[in-house]
Amino acid sequence: MYVYLQPQGGLNDILSVIETTLIYCMKHKRKLLLDTVNTTYRINFIDYFSFQHSGIIEDINEIIKICDNDNNISIYPECSKDNMLNILNGKIKFVDNNFEMYYNNTILSLPNEKRNETIIIFSSYAKFFGFKLFKKLHLNINIKKIAKERYEKIPKPYLCIQVRNTDYKCDYIKLYNENIKLIHKYKNIYVASDDENVINFFKSNNLGLNIFNFTTFNNSNNNSNSNENIYKNLHSNDSIDSNTKILDLMSDIYIISMSDKLLSNSKGQFITLVRNCYADKNNIIKQFN
């Protein structure tokens, strides 16, 4: 028996929802079928990550085989086996209504009562911070290689300034003005941001700072006055390919964590995740080695 999960949102959301679902699965003696192909990053999870947990199936191809080979599959909320396969191949998509996910006008929550169906369908955003599960995340060799190569390009020591400025806004000019003395103590600064305008601000000639950043930006997001683009966070930006998103994201987490000082006034759950990573450098070093 299984719980099929489509975790919504960015990395913290994904990890948080996986943890919630795994706890449910262990309680109800089910296996977790993890599908991130049909969610924000559009990746087969096993190609980049693994939890090495016997209760999680992370390969979309194995999930398809499970659903295709069993003629007696039953599903909650009620739908046919063929619909399950259409969900897996992306022909059927869940509906997001104010951060609640629906299928056929039914909310996709985990039932409190015991269910006898073969598969329970669940999809959700984060309920809490995902750092606990992040520490258990095993990374593929290419993520570790790229992250460390980028890290080595930054002269040491360096300050990291983290600015989220798309779906959540951060007053990065105020952040600079309130921390001028600290910022200018460092010759080298890594600016981790989802907004290229932030990078350009810290690179401007009047600041005289040695700025580093390895993030891939979509050119259409360059205009900060565009209402259409200003709220477009990087993980939901379809103009950037999934592999690039993951490599940029994990490199940022590694470089932020390894910095000598982290400075941010950002909002949202991602900054909490990376603050925890920064505070737990020893674990980050192990994960990326």
Task: Please list, in sequence order, all residues whose beta carbon lies within 8 angstroms of the beta carbon of residue 219, skipping any fewer than 6 positions away.
Answer: none
CA distance 129 to 18: 11
Nearest of 119, 98, 167, 155 to residue 2 by alpha carbon:
119
| Angle of CA points 197, 259, 255, to nearest 5° | 65
**pLDDT value, residue 236:** 65
pTM of the model: 0.91
3-state SS class at 24: helix
Query: pLDDT tens across 71-127, in order?
Result: 788 999 987 777 889 999 999 999 998 888 999 889 999 999 999 999 999 999 877
DSSP 191: E
3-state SS class at 34: strand
Task: Please list, in sequence order, all residues whose beta carbon lies within 8 angstroms of the beta carbon of residue 41, skipping any fewer than 6 positions away.
Answer: 14, 235, 242, 245, 246
**pLDDT value, residue 221:** 47
Mean pLDDT of the residues in the chain: 90
**pLDDT value, residue 222:** 46
- The series of mean pLDDT values per 10 residues for the chain, 289 residues long, is 94 92 95 95 95 94 90 84 87 89 91 93 81 90 97 97 92 95 96 94 89 84 45 70 95 98 93 94 95
Domains of the chain in start order, with CATH, are: 2-133 (no CATH), 141-288 (3.40.50)
- HSE-up of residue 65 (Cα within 13 Å, Cβ side): 6
